[in-house]
Structure 1
Amino acid sequence: MKPVGFLLVLVLTAAGACDSSRAPVSAPASVRQSVVGGAPEPGYPAVGAIVPVSPICGEPDAEAPVLCTGTLVAPRVVLTAAHCVENTDAPQVLSVVFASETARALGTERVRVVDGRIHPDWRAGAHDIGVLILAEDAPVPPMPLHLASLPADFVGRTTRVVGFGLDEDGRTGLRRSGTARVTATDAGTFSIEAAPAMSCGGDSGGPSILDIDDTELVIGVTAFGDLACTTGTNTRVDAHADFLHAVMEETARAPPTRPRLDAAVDTCTVPCEAHADCPLGMACVVQPGGGRSCAVAGLEAGRFGALCSGPDGAHPCVKAGDTCRLWQPCDEAPGGGCAAGGNAGAQTCATLLALASLLARRYSESLSRSQEVKSAER
């Protein structure tokens, strides 16, 4: 995993939402292809791409960039890195794509996320493990975890890494895999080197897989690595078995549910206390005058207005179930017209860019702490 990948995608995601031209953005020359030395991988269907879902009508899900990689380990539980789930608001705007190429995924292969959990002791360089909880069962079978102690001959063995990260042309969304060699292990992590492959940018959260007694098991989660994508550090799954067991058992016992979205409801007048109180695709946000209400995830507090085919001034045209409606601030009277075409309003762009800025700043701070940890270890 190349750390700059996740930061780059966060910024480009918001910037793209404010640019109707949708022109492709080339990655810096320093960005290497995902799973360097690997190859396209049609197998491992449980390994999915974690992508943002745009709230704006007319922005196809197929164009969403890959933020991280994850592995389905229970019907509704996707294992990934903690730094992919760090922001508590992020899961409300995410989907996991279970297809070998995200741009060609069917609707049934895209599953919305309703919640996220990180290890309670997570910090940069330690316990970098978390999960995303899906709104419904995934369309593929889970992959088994190796929760027993690692084999005595683990160092020196070959592991397989899988991910959807940036390729050499700055594109994401193709599942790739390759083999790496284990070089060292400690209480919570293990290190790998290219043999000849290595995970890179966008592969964060992806699995390291080991063949044990003719069964392929997930033994690690891609956490961080060097900028040249020649070495990497993985979080050990067996060392965090209690955390994973607890989340998987809770999700199996009480699968998360969300109320049905009804665009006719005046969301500004219906209070909420947590994201779970809101319909799928919405989040519990603070209103300008105080109090909290459900809003389209990624946007500020507001209500659904008239049907639309494009933005109307500062009112973005947002997805509302099977329809598109204008999104209006709570301090504005219900109603409003509809204008076809045009760019998303300034309010939408400001909101998305603010969210990206916040996530980017947190990730940058996390990366700095991680590099300090690595320097101290040396």
Structure 2
Amino acid sequence: MSDAHGPVVYGLNDIVLCHTGISHVDGHLGRYRYRDYDAIELVNNCELAEVWCLLVDGELPSAARRAEFAAELAELSAIPPAVTGLLPAVAGLGERAGGIGWLQTAVLLLARSLDWPSVLELDRAALRRQVLQTLVTAPVMLAAMHRLRQGLDPVPPDPALDHAANVLYMLSGEAPPPAHARALEQYLMLTAEHGMAASTFAGRVIFSTGADLGSALSGALGAMGGPLHGGAPTLVLDMLDEIGSPDRVEPWLRDKLVKNERIMGFGHRIYRAVDPRVEVLREIATRLGSARLALAGLVEQRAAALLDEANPGRTLRANVELYTALVMEAVGLPRSLFPATFAMARLVGWGTHLLEQHAGNRLIRPVTAFAGGPVLPVPSSAERGHPNG
């Protein structure tokens, strides 16, 4: 469709927002990269701190640089006392959007307690410090609120554990098996960044106004709180619960298609080939011995066939959420925190995008295509029925 100014594109589909060196998602070939590296190779061969360092600073670190980076993160991990004192009240407000609401509030509290100014007042080093501080304190605050909600005392992080192991430790109070910690670490790397998703776009828009970092990250978290973005892993387990057994897979899927209802864990706005994250997560779920693996595999197989039948010429395959749900369940994460765990992983991607936006910021201001009619004259008071007209 066109108007007087040229073609009209709805929903910003395929509109280029910016040039970026952070990541690239190739939906046609089914692959994606972080900086100059294939993301799947990084997930299989690196540690989380290395991937964070690559995204934030642009280079895969040497062993010495990795140690420096880890020390920098450790220095920033303390939660301000003012925030700690407020966490019980926040935890009592409920777990909106799978814990993302808690995380959103906690990030804002962090920013306000430290009086973070407009990003226009910061140089890159100061902004980078705020990004890293958010990365390392967010899981501490989230785990504390979850335990407070359960009537338990928060568990402080163990400096002897790495980031992923600490997430599980702070939630349960017990050091996790290495296999669980590595599985979660791989998930956090796998979903750390994925192009201009709705949440990333929201964060960049807010940041472009000159707001503080906490406001921009809070906006990104708000966008991720929607069930079409960050809430899907929880809904996948709900789906598997509802199906229940292998003999119900086919009739359940056909019923959904007849009713034109969404099948959770399938389809992606970018990928027209298989989402490369699916295979990695399937392998992790297999390694962990997920009890739902056979059922999920059958759902994946039959849903793909039925979707091909119902949508000829359109490829709809499993997305990252299908096996994410199995991995999160297998490592012992509470189902209520699946969305917030996804959000914690993506914090580094958002932060990196905001650092990039900071380097050449311009207010993001799209336009709309007006769908109304011609300008009409305003009726007089008498014509509008006013008694004193």
**Length-normalised TM-score, structure 2:** 0.25
Which protein has the larger Cα radius of gyration, Structure 1 or Structure 2? 2
Q: Which has the higher helix share?
A: 2
Q: Which has the higher strand share?
A: 1
Q: Which has the higher contact order (CA 8 A, sep 6+)?
A: 2
**Length-normalised TM-score, structure 1:** 0.26
